[in-house]
Amino acid sequence: MNKARRDLKIIVIGLTIWLVAHAAAMAATGVLVAGHKNPDTDSISSAIGYAKFKQLSGIEVMAVRAGEINKETQYALNYFKVPAPPLVKAFEEKQHVILVDHNESKQAIDGLEKAEIIEIIDHHRLGGISTEKPLFIHFEPIGSTATLVANMYWQHQFEIPKDIAGLLLSAIISDTVLFRSSTSTAKDRATAVKLAAIADVNIQTYGLGMLKAGADVSDQTPDQIVGNDLKVFEVQGKMISISQVEVMSSGELLAQKEQLLQAVEKLRATARYEASFLMVTNIMEESTHLLFQGNADDIVWKAFGKKTEHHEVFLPNVMSRKNQVAPPILAALKELRK
């Protein structure tokens, strides 16, 4: 047996031992698998996919969602005929919880402090959650949590059902913007190819259809556009929000710039954030117009080295909030607001 196969076998054995050791405790109360607030396709699909994985492992779990389903995710759910998980807005008593696609309390279902986090599966930065007991965590700096979930099936030699494969593929396509984003890795691409074969879809054809469905914001108000895909971050007691809307063409949306800025300011003022940002990301041109409110011109300058013009800065070759926007903004905030 070569070293790679031996290492893989050790990992699988270790995971199996851990699962068996915790199965009884989990099954006694049931476990919720939850993604983040304002859920995207990765958050919903990874919760569904990981819940199925745990069920195949003999553990009683249920996928839930922390917010409303967006158009892109609904397209995927409809295509593969999978019902949306039930909505949970707050944790009613102490509950065993598995977090997927997030690890920051501000992004989690309300009342997380009442829950017992037993696992975290994620691909983001560490966000400061602390736990009373040891837990299983799996983090990798890749494009999508769904990539991690899919590979856990294969590591345990579980077959991925066709509908689950389709949802996990959808999540990878979404988070990597059909592999255009800087977050995309070779592991994401290889996983997507295998999932597409199981789901029996063409990655490009299906992926463009899904992204187009999600990019249609013609029926949304500025408040909805700002609030649909929003994440909150904390640095040294300072809170900021970064929203993102992905479109095929940014011209029509930017024609509503004043209304969008008003919505961003409404959000910022209501929540008392230090600053609030909206990424208007053009999928086809692979660029972002970053709108913002709050006293943040110095933050934007330090983060991107660009002068702002009426609460806006243009960022070519920028598509990823996780890799290209949040990190420099948070670093600038930390440096400037000591």
Q: What is the pLDDT of residue 9?
A: 62
User: How distant, in Å, are the alpha carbons of 159, 214, 269, 270, 273 from that of 266?
Assistant: 47, 24, 5, 6, 10
Ranges in the chain annotated CATH 3.90.1640.10: 3-211
Ranges in the chain annotated CATH 3.10.310.20: 222-336
Q: Residue 139 is inside which H or E element, if any?
A: strand 136-139
Looking only at the bridges linking them, the beta strands covering 31-34 and 96-100 are parallel
Residue 227 has phi, psi (to 5 degrees) of: -95, -15
Among candidate residues 166, 212, 170, the one with its CA nearest the CA of residue 40: 170
Which residues share a beta bridge with 154? none
Residue 313 has phi, psi (to 5 degrees) of: -145, 140
pLDDT tens for residues 61-101?
A: 999 999 999 999 999 999 999 999 999 999 877 899 999 99
Which residues share a beta bridge with 238? 235
Instruction: Output Rg (C-alpha) for the chain, integer angstroms.
Output: 20
pLDDT tens for residues 190-214?
A: 999 999 999 999 999 999 999 999 9
The token pair at 58 is 């003999």
HSE (side-chain half, CA atoms, 13 Å) at 91:
22
Name the average pLDDT for the chain: 91
pLDDT tens for residues 19-60?
A: 444 443 444 458 999 999 999 999 999 999 999 999 999 999
pLDDT tens for residues 286-325?
A: 999 999 999 899 999 999 999 999 999 999 999 999 999 9
Residue 112 CA to residue 117 CA, distance in Å, equals 8
CB-neighbour burial class of residue 139 (10 A; exposed 0-12, middle 13-18, buried 19+): middle
Please give the CATH number for the structural domain made up of 222-336: 3.10.310.20
In CATH, which superfamily holds the domain spanning 3-211?
A: inorganic pyrophosphatase (n-terminal core) (3.90.1640.10)
DSSP-derived 3-state class of residue 295: coil
pTM of the model: 0.80
